[in-house]
Amino acid sequence: MTPTSRTAYLDHAATTPMVPEAIAAMAEQLAVTGNASSLHSSGRAARRTVEEARELIAERFGARPSEVVFCSGGTEANNLAIKGMYWSRLAQQPARRRIVFSSIEHHALLDPVTWLAQHEGAEVEMTPVDKQGRIVVDDLRAAVERDPSSVSAVTTMWANNEMGTIQPISDVVAIARAHDIPVHSDAVQAAGYVPLDFAASGLDAMTVTAHKLGGPVGVGALVIARELEATPLLHGGGQERDLRSGTVSTALIAAFAAAVDVTIGHQRETVARIEGLRRRLVEGIVAAVPDAIVNGDPEPGSDHRLPNIAHVTFPGCEGDAMLMLFDAQGIECSTGSACAAGVPQPSHVLLAMGYDDVAARGSLRFSLGHTSTEADVDRVLAALPAVHQRARRASLVRSGS
């Protein structure tokens, strides 16, 4: 649902409203017929739209146009990256069965890695993070260097989707490069909030998606070096460098490019404004609930944390209860917890950071974005005391205290 005057939407890390330019670009292309793989005039017009979008996205993310492979979003891109790299390396060097990754990856990466272990003989190694949710570089180095010839790939998200903590990508790349190991990064949460330069990063593959930066759901890209071999997941018409067969959606891709253009074009001023809102939100939460714990790195900036995510633990409260109480007040946020088959589970990210189950279940993520306003922050802070009091009272009743 698009935020309205009756809703304070603070779940931009889940999805953010489309910018008007993306809506316009998508609407224009939806009214036009043409398969970008066809050779007639309509097909060539569609192909031109797709390739112009590819060039723009590549330029904004510091890549070559040929390195942008369109797909359905971040989940598909992550699957293509990690499975494609694993299978390709394994076919050439059967000893390379290890995949090294961090303990705080999004399930769009964690689950494909787990699947490879269960079905394809991969040996997966999860490296720890510190209390701020940042990978421990020395442990990652030790994992790789224990037997580098057995590692097929290393993958580390650019910024964590729950904490907003930014990872030391350059250190990860340096460790892997020394042993000719390809590196992938899920940059879905970082795109639009920190500068992303694929060429300068030294990465071999990077995931981005449209709906986290003002574009539509259903389109994203795997930015993948031309030199890197990866086994495709889909076979068919050979579109997208034969890495992702299927008729491309001209309308979605045009909207993706429009969103990237607008969001990155205004990134500096938007980030400064959002960081100010986040700071006021956090200060207000701590003032209203003195025992609240603000998680992640306290320092803002492109080397520390994203400017738009505030993750807070409320001792003695259930995060789910607070979420629903806020929702009843027209305030939308997230627990940041995984949910399997409708059964809430404590966040694996918080558990990896050393929190116990109780603390992990008692946390909320407030994430701001381009439509966020001072009024949204005011609304949260006005509702918080009553929401917190009711949630804590309900928790005491359930525990029998």
Residue-wise pLDDT for 47-63, tens only, equals 999 999 999 999 999 99
223 and 368 part of one domain: no
Where is the domain boundary, 213, 240, 264? 264
Give the model's confidence band at 359: pLDDT under 50 very low, under 70 low, under 90 confident, else very high. Answer: confident
43 and 160 part of one domain: yes
152 and 255 part of one domain: yes
Higher pLDDT, 358 or 158: 158
Is a pLDDT exceeding 70 seen at residue 344?
no
Confirm if 107 and 209 have CB atoms less than 8 A apart. no
pLDDT digits (tens, 9 = 90+) for 85-132: 999 999 999 999 999 999 999 999 999 999 999 999 999 999 999 999
pLDDT, position 53 = 98
Instruction: Report the CATH number at residue 135.
Output: 3.40.640.10
Number of domains the chain is built from: 2
The mean predicted confidence, pLDDT, of the chain is 94
Answer yes or no: is 3 within a domain.
Answer: no
Where is the domain boundary, 264, 289, 318? 264
Q: Give 59-64 contacts, CB < 8 A, sequence gap 24+.
A: 60/260, 60/261, 60/264, 61/191, 61/196, 61/197, 61/198, 61/206, 61/208, 61/223, 61/260, 62/196, 62/197, 62/198, 62/199, 62/200, 62/201, 63/198, 63/199, 63/223, 64/199, 64/226
One DSSP character per residue, 152-201 reads EEEE--SB-TTT-BBP-HHHHHHHHHTTT--EEEE-TTTBTTB---HHHH
Instruction: Report the CATH number at residue 351.
Output: 3.90.1150.10
pLDDT, position 302 = 73
257 and 297 part of one domain: no
162 and 38 part of one domain: yes
Is a pLDDT exceeding 60 seen at residue 401?
no
pLDDT, position 400 = 64
Mean pLDDT, to the nearest integer, of 65-79? 98
251 and 304 part of one domain: no
253 and 310 part of one domain: no
What is the amino acid identity at position 55? E
82 and 170 part of one domain: yes
User: Which member of 71, 317, 333, 339 is catalytic?
Assistant: 339
Answer yes or no: is 1 within a domain.
Answer: no
Give the model's confidence band at 301: pLDDT under 50 very low, under 70 low, under 90 confident, else very high. Answer: confident
100 and 211 part of one domain: yes
Answer yes or no: is 386 within a domain.
Answer: yes
Is a pLDDT exceeding 60 seen at residue 342?
no
How crowded is residue 207: how many other Cβ atoms within 10 Å of its Cβ? Answer: 32
282 and 392 part of one domain: yes
Is residue 71 among the annotated active site residues?
Answer: no
Where is the domain boundary, 264, 299, 332? 264
pLDDT digits (tens, 9 = 90+) for 135-165: 999 999 999 999 999 999 999 999 999 999 9
Confirm if 325 and 353 have CB atoms less than 8 A apart. no
246 and 294 part of one domain: no
Which range of residues forms the domain containing residue 282? 8-17+267-399
286 and 219 part of one domain: no
Give the model's confidence band at 338: pLDDT under 50 very low, under 70 low, under 90 confident, else very high. Answer: very low
pLDDT, position 153 = 97
pLDDT, position 399 = 66
Answer yes or no: is 377 within a domain.
Answer: yes
Answer yes or no: is 2 within a domain.
Answer: no
Answer yes or no: is 276 within a domain.
Answer: yes
Lowest-pLDDT range, 55-64, 199-208, 339-348? 339-348
pLDDT, position 340 = 44
